[in-house]
Structure 1
Amino acid sequence: MKKLVVIAIAFLTLSAFTTIGNTWKSDPPHTQLGFTVTHLGINDISGAFEDVSITLNAKGEDLRDAAFSLVAQTVSVDTRVDARNNHLKSTDFFNAEKYPEMSFTSTEIKKEGNNRYSLTGELSLHGITKTVHLNVLDRGLVTNPMSNKETRGIQVSGTIKRSDFGIGEKFPEAVISDEVRIIANAEFLQDEN
């Protein structure tokens, strides 16, 4: 009997320190990865990747232990102009045939303030992987009245340099800014698998 009590106490003690993480998947109709560049130094042009999937793993209600992973299909780039979309898919820019995916995997997250975090991770784009630093805004957790499912809203933003990834090397900064502002807005649903 004593042995059974000791085993039960050990199990409960270990359970208290081992929290199984929750996996959240982005809801495709409510998720977008956008970007903005400056054209000719005078005008901002924006676009988005329409085929993007983001996974979030978090143990608690806040994101201080969260891990993010993202995969976007480069062929899904959309700037509302077909000729520009085709040019971006070409070897001048994303070379979507050779590099069909871009991916991001987080390596560190730090709480910076109320619902705000700094996120570090590895971005793989155009055959090159670099460490990038991004900002995260946890926009909250609600029950979606349409689906009755718990839904979490998160925004990730930051700036990268296209030259770091060998994108658009024929186009100087006077034509297209080297800095690319990125923003991902996503609604997440808890993975039921």
Structure 2
Amino acid sequence: MKLLVTPIALLLSLSAAYAQSWGLDKAHSRVGFTVTHLLLSEVDGNFKTFDANLTASKPDLSDAVFDLTADINSVDTDNERRDGHLKTPDWFDAAKYPTLTFKSTSFKKVSGKNYKLAGDLTMHGVTKPVVLDAVLTGPVTMEGRNGKQEKVGLKATGTIKRTDFGVGSSGGATVSEEVELKLNGEFTKK
């Protein structure tokens, strides 16, 4: 048994040693959402302050692991009054729950550049599993200010019910319960 455990431990440590980290290029990334107001019009919003990381040990990133954190106080819907209301206990309760997080649990190729990105979304103190449709582009190597850099793009979309996370009330039709998530990220290999 000891003879079997040693090689397995060695393989696991080698794969961890070859894992590559990719940092987020915030200037070319966005964490956004869309809701429907009064069943009539769509309202877009985003979080101005956020960070994300990508780690993978395979060159094609097919084993990628993602994590994301967004600052609830940075919510922006292009309307200061609405943004202020979204931060109150009626909605996000930013004083009590200042961050939103997503930690991936799997990244499975569907076809070509298309993947299913599964993970745990935590918002308003509630953690629920979500599955997002993702498109991975790259990696590509390009010349930048710091010499050659390897980059990759990730776009992920999906729909959640805000009331599953305790955000807002379920009564009335002022704001749709369904929220479309839109994540776009450009990552640079560290």
TM-score, length-scaled by structure 2? 0.87
Equivalent residues of 1:94, 1:167 under 8 A apart? yes
Partner of residue 178, structure 1: 177
The counterpart of 1:18, out of the listed 14, 18, 42, is 14
Query: Larger Rg: 1 or 2?
Result: 1
Comparing 144-153 with 97-106, greater Cα deviation is found at 144-153
SS of match in other structure, 1:164:
helix
SS of match in other structure, 2:29:
strand
Gaps of 5+ in 1: 1-10
Partner of residue 160, structure 2: 160
Query: Distance between the aligned counterparts of 1:70 and 1:100, measured in 2?
Result: 14
SS of match in other structure, 1:149:
strand
Moved segments of 4+, more than 6 Å:
none
Equivalent residues of 1:73, 1:102 under 8 A apart? yes
Q: What is the CA distance between 1:61 and its match in structure 2?
A: 2.8
Give the number of aligned pairs.
179
Q: What is the CA distance between 1:28 and its match in structure 2?
A: 1.6
Equivalent residues of 1:112, 1:118 under 8 A apart? yes
Partner of residue 117, structure 2: 119
Query: Distance between the aligned counterparts of 1:164 and 1:95, measured in 2?
Result: 15
Q: Report 1:96-107 matches (<5 A).
A: 96-107=94-105
Equivalent residues of 1:160, 1:180 under 8 A apart? yes
Gaps of 5+ in 2: 1-6
Equivalent residues of 2:115, 2:134 under 8 A apart? yes
Query: Distance between the aligned counterparts of 1:114 and 1:170, measured in 2?
Result: 39
Query: Distance between the aligned counterparts of 2:119 and 2:142, measured in 1?
Result: 30
TM-score, length-scaled by structure 1? 0.86
Partner of residue 106, structure 2: 108
Q: What is the CA distance between 1:171 and its match in structure 2?
A: 5.2
SS of match in other structure, 1:120:
strand
Q: Report 1:28-177 matches (<5 A).
A: 28-147=26-145, 148-169=148-169, 172=172, 174-177=173-176
How large is the RMSD of aligned CA atoms in angstroms? 2.1
Query: Distance between the aligned counterparts of 1:170 and 1:111, measured in 2?
Result: 35
Partner of residue 3, structure 1: none
Query: Distance between the aligned counterparts of 2:59 and 2:80, measured in 1?
Result: 42
Equivalent residues of 1:31, 1:52 under 8 A apart? no
SS of match in other structure, 1:142:
strand
Equivalent residues of 2:68, 2:101 under 8 A apart? yes
User: C-alpha offsets along residues 14-43 of structure 1, whole Å, 9 cap, x if unaligned?
Assistant: 67x933111111112122100000111111
Amino acid at match of 1:152: V
Query: Distance between the aligned counterparts of 1:119 and 1:141, measured in 2?
Result: 18
Equivalent residues of 1:92, 1:170 under 8 A apart? no
Query: Distance between the aligned counterparts of 1:101 and 1:57, measured in 2?
Result: 21
Q: What is the CA distance between 1:152 and its match in structure 2?
A: 1.2
Q: What is the CA distance between 1:92 and its match in structure 2?
A: 1.0
SS of match in other structure, 1:29:
helix
